[in-house]
């Protein structure tokens, strides 16, 4: 797989006055656009509920708009799951404190309702989502895109 430097070597065959940092920034933009058009599903992410905590950090590569499914164990250790419904925190929908749903706060937190308590603590929650690409930071990095898409990085910079 070509490194960022190898991709830039091809780009630099065309005369330009832009810095490598500018070009890498454009590569990151193109990579994000491709991941939005061609979703890349991440391996399922799981965590366990904690009594008194309703907010849980999303994985760093999770695109909140790319969350496909959130499931929660029906009882701790049961191995049986039910899918949680998404309700926006900005919704005008009436919800009860006992209604089961999830929401997203900001860009990095998953909110579970009802808040886990001593009885519901330790339940497994699984998150199925499309991931964001890992940000390109240096010339030795290898873009997370499949090699077939690397030409699009070149074209995006050009």
Identify the pLDDT of residue 86.
96
Please state, for a pLDDT cut of 70, what percent of the chain lies above it. Answer: 100
Q: Is the pLDDT of residue 106 over 90?
A: no
Q: Which residue has the higher pLDDT, 111 or 1?
A: 111
Identify the pLDDT of residue 145.
87
According to DSSP H, which parts of 12-101 are helical? Answer: 20-37
| Single pTM value for the model | 0.79
Query: Where does the pLDDT of residue 91 fall: very low under 50, low under 70, confident under 90, or very high at 90 and above?
Result: confident
pLDDT digits (tens, 9 = 90+) for 50-86: 999 999 999 999 989 899 999 999 999 999 999 999 9
Separation between Cα atoms, residue 28 and residue 31, nearest integer Å: 5
Query: Which SS3 state, helix, strand or coil, does residue 110 take?
Result: strand
CB 122 within 8 A of CB 78: no
Nearest 5°: phi and psi at 126? -115, 140
Q: Parallel, antiparallel, or unpaired: how do β-strands 62-73 and 101-105 relate?
A: unpaired
Please give the C-alpha separations between residue 14 and each of 29, 91, 155, in angstroms, as whole numbers: 20, 50, 11
């Amino acid at each position: 797989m070509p490194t960022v430097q190898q991709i830039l070597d091809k780009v630099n065959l065309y005369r330009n006055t832009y810095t490598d940092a500018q070009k890498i920034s454009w590569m990151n933009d193109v990579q994000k656009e491709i991941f939005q058009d061609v979703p890349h599903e991440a391996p399922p992410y799981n965590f366990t509920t904690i009594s008194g905590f309703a907010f849980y950090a999303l994985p760093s590569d999770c695109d909140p708009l790319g969350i496909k499914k959130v499931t929660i164990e029906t009882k701790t250790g049961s191995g049986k799951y039910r899918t949680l419904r998404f309700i926006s925190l900005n919704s005008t929908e009436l919800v009860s404190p006992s209604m089961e749903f999830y929401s997203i706060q900001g860009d990095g937190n998953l909110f579970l309702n009802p808040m886990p308590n001593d009885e519901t603590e330790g339940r497994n929650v699984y998150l199925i989502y499309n991931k964001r690409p890992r940000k390109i930071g240096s010339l030795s990095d290898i873009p997370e895109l499949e090699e077939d898409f690397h030409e699009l990085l070149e074209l995006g910079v050009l």
